[in-house]
Structure 1
Amino acid sequence: MSNLVQTSEQSETQNIPQLTLWRMITGGQIAQAVHAAVQLNIPDLLIDGPKSAEELAQQSGTHAQTLYRLLRALASLGLFLEDDQQRFRLTDASQMLRSDVPQSLRPLILLCHTSAHWNAWGDFTNSVRTGENSFQHLYKQQYWAYLDTHPDEQKLCYEALSGLSVGEVEAIFNAYDFSPYHNIVDVAGGWGKLLTLILQAHPTTHGILFDLPFVAEKAAAQIQATEIGERCQVVGGDMFKSVPTGGDLYMTKTVIHDWDDAHALTLLRNCRSAMKPGAKLLLIELVLLPGNVPDIGKFMDLFLLAVIGGQERTADEFQRLVEEAGLVFERVIPTGPILPTQSGIAIIECSKRPDDI
């Protein structure tokens, strides 16, 4: 028996490269299987407890035996748990795919499996050959312009971004002292979750939430209904033309990574033009881990290349951009990784020189 065990262990060790490659090659199949389960609302159907494939098939309008095969495969990965009565229940992972949880990843997986996303990835080799954004190459427009004419996907995109943002906002708030500032300008601030949290904690601070007009219109309705409504002005506009003046602190959260260096420099220079001498600018972004360190952010960088047309950056790359825009690169403040193998959201603190008038 010991010889058999030893032979098995040796075989498994020898096959590690093949197993690693197999997981890489079949990763798309796993993603499609997860997407199917979410599309069929299986996580929501299991909220009230374990169910058999037959029960779930009746509720989801699917073929029971085929649904069982899907759930069995996903249970082998830990997404569901199958008991000895062939009933399935939620795990910690699938809880995050429910539609009713604050940080639900349901919108993200639905977004990533739209035909536009898959088509962009299908053209990815061309991006590597040319450096051109796959989406732009296929659709002859930027992803954000495409969303303007596809409202269902646009809604899904903002829901996905909102879900990802929930855990980040508190970490950012806890990592930085916002108390010295009197007027904070949140550039491309979306629904204003971070700015709202800051203003709620600092009753004498005022804020300006700045984003595209259609985003600003929706955000204004939400913010005006809260206790910070009188202290928060919501402004619509184009950050590549100008940003509001008058702030002693400017911030952008996961905005720079959506753009190439040329657009990023335009935005940074517009912020610099609006800033008072000595004012601060916070770039809140993923900062890539160095070298061969495993890092989900490095694959987020490829997603940005394929779909959005932006890129994730290292601390050195951020410093180069900031200094080229005429600002002072002060420091990088980590907020901690969301996952053990993910570059965490960091706060890159910059400033406008006191003599820069």
Structure 2
Amino acid sequence: MSSTTPQDVLSTEKMNLRAALIERIGGYMTAHAIGVAADLALADLIGTGSRTSDELAAETRTHEPSLRRLLRTLVAVGVAAEPEPGRFTLTDIGSQLRSDSPDSLRNFARMFCHPIFLTSWSSLHHSVTTGERAFDHVYGSGIYDWLAQHGETSALFNEAMSEESRISAGQLAAAYDFPATGTVVDLGGGDGTLLTAILGARPGLRGIVFDSPSGVAEAPATLSKAGLADRCEVRAGDFFQSVPGGGDLYIIKSVFQDWGDGEARAILRTCRAHMPASATLLIVGTVLPETADTSAPVAFFTDINMMVMTGGRERTESEFRAMLEETGFTVRSVGHGQAGPLSVIQAVPATAA
């Protein structure tokens, strides 16, 4: 007979629940640990093999006992493994921190664990109580104005956004039925990662990458490296004022989350005013479920991150539909999860519906 009593079971359940909450409370500790690992390039140094904490400390010029404690914490959260005392390898999750990985998120980790994010998040209470951006409260300006004055951090931000886009760009290029010919305009296209994937899959297409001057700073190099410079223009501008005309397909990926409803509608009205009546608009981004659940926590973290950092927000399908209809568009389809974790909303000018 089992000696386990109902009280023992209840006690175990309570302890498990307690541990689960404590782990979530300590989430910021995980972020700091991964951020330091990314800054030290530990994943690059470990690579596909294994390294001791002594070796890693010597190469990173860090305090070995402290570095070993950091590495053990990375093991505890599934980023690394310790097959024998003091020797460490990477897990599949941790391998994404390698700079040479096609799925690299090293710069993404460095950016989102950067002091400007962590300090802004420490003022989350300010955003919740006032509705104001915590970043502005801490730094005295909007994040994009701040980045424009801090070139090194701006470059890291652009690299992080490129890493985040790489996988979804490939999935979108493979999943969406892009036309064989015509011109694709990527609004807020950054360094051209998305158009590189699309034009690479459709040799008859031409493209235009459109973003702010700092946003498109790396686009010529990206397109040139991919051999696409002759098929894709790079234009700098302000999509609140004007966007390139004459396109056949306009894409807005991971842009609306940065803005509040008023600004998002202004962007759509600019698009509607400048795009041909025959053109199609694709909005690629997160579409929240109408009621919150536990299936996609990253989407809700992104939503609150936008509240803290930019004053933007993620939206539900019904909110997107209403916003598009108010600005002169008709939604033709919503492909949930069509680009990996991101969804694809296809809309056309209302007169073309």
TM-score between the two structures when normalised by the length of structure 1: 0.91
3-state SS, counterpart of residue 19 of structure 1: helix
What is the Cα deviation at residue 175 of structure 1? Answer: 2.0
2:345 matched to which residue of 1? Answer: 348
How big is the alpha-carbon RMSD for the aligned residues of Structure 1 and Structure 2?
2.3
What is the Cα deviation at residue 45 of structure 1? Answer: 1.8
Question: Counterparts of 2:30 and 2:186 in 1: how far apart (Å)?
Answer: 38
| Residues 1:221 and 1:86: Cα distance change in structure 2 (over 3 Å) | closer
1:161 matched to which residue of 2? Answer: 161
What is the Cα deviation at residue 226 of structure 1? Answer: 5.0
Q: What one-letter code is carried by the residue in structure 1 that aligns with 2:320?
A: F
Q: What one-letter code is carried by the residue in structure 1 that aligns with 2:248?
A: D
Quick check: 1:133–1:305 contact (8 Å CA) kept in 2? Answer: yes
| Residues 1:71 and 1:7: Cα distance change in structure 2 (over 3 Å) | farther
State the aligned residue count.
Answer: 351
Quick check: 1:181–1:248 contact (8 Å CA) kept in 2? Answer: no
Quick check: 2:175–2:338 contact (8 Å CA) kept in 1? Answer: no
2:315 matched to which residue of 1? Answer: 313
Question: Counterparts of 1:219 and 1:166 in 2: how far apart (Å)?
Answer: 14
What is the Cα deviation at residue 121 of structure 1? Answer: 0.8
What is the Cα deviation at residue 332 of structure 1? Answer: 0.6
Quick check: 1:133–1:309 contact (8 Å CA) kept in 2? Answer: yes
Question: Counterparts of 1:81 and 1:225 in 2: how far apart (Å)?
Answer: 36
Q: What does 1:71-90 align with in structure 2 at a 5 Å threshold?
A: 71-90=71-90
Task: List gaps (5 residues or longer) in structure 2.
Answer: none
| Residues 1:72 and 1:244: Cα distance change in structure 2 (over 3 Å) | same
What is the Cα deviation at residue 139 of structure 1? Answer: 2.2
What is the Cα deviation at residue 8 of structure 1? Answer: 5.5
What is the Cα deviation at residue 313 of structure 1? Answer: 0.9
Deviation per residue, 1:237-260 (Å, 9 max, x gap): 111100011112111111111111
1:284 matched to which residue of 2? Answer: 284
Question: Counterparts of 2:67 and 2:281 in 1: how far apart (Å)?
Answer: 51
What is the Cα deviation at residue 15 of structure 1? Answer: 2.5
Kindly indicate whether residue 95 of structure 2 is the aligned counterpart of residue 95 of structure 1: yes
What is the Cα deviation at residue 4 of structure 1? Answer: 5.1
Question: Counterparts of 1:33 and 1:224 in 2: how far apart (Å)?
Answer: 36
Quick check: 1:134–1:307 contact (8 Å CA) kept in 2? Answer: yes
| Residues 1:63 and 1:228: Cα distance change in structure 2 (over 3 Å) | closer
Deviation per residue, 1:142-176 (Å, 9 max, x gap): 10110011111111111111111111011111221
3-state SS, counterpart of residue 96 of structure 1: helix
Question: Counterparts of 1:54 and 1:223 in 2: how far apart (Å)?
Answer: 42
Give me the identity figure in percent.
Answer: 35
Task: List gaps (5 residues or longer) in structure 1.
Answer: 339-343
Question: Counterparts of 2:189 and 2:283 in 1: how far apart (Å)?
Answer: 12
Question: Counterparts of 1:134 and 1:47 in 2: how far apart (Å)?
Answer: 37
What is the Cα deviation at residue 181 of structure 1? Answer: 5.4
TM-score between the two structures when normalised by the length of structure 2: 0.92
Q: What one-letter code is carried by the residue in structure 2 that aligns with 1:60?
A: T
| Residues 1:355 and 1:86: Cα distance change in structure 2 (over 3 Å) | closer
Quick check: 1:171–1:335 contact (8 Å CA) kept in 2? Answer: no
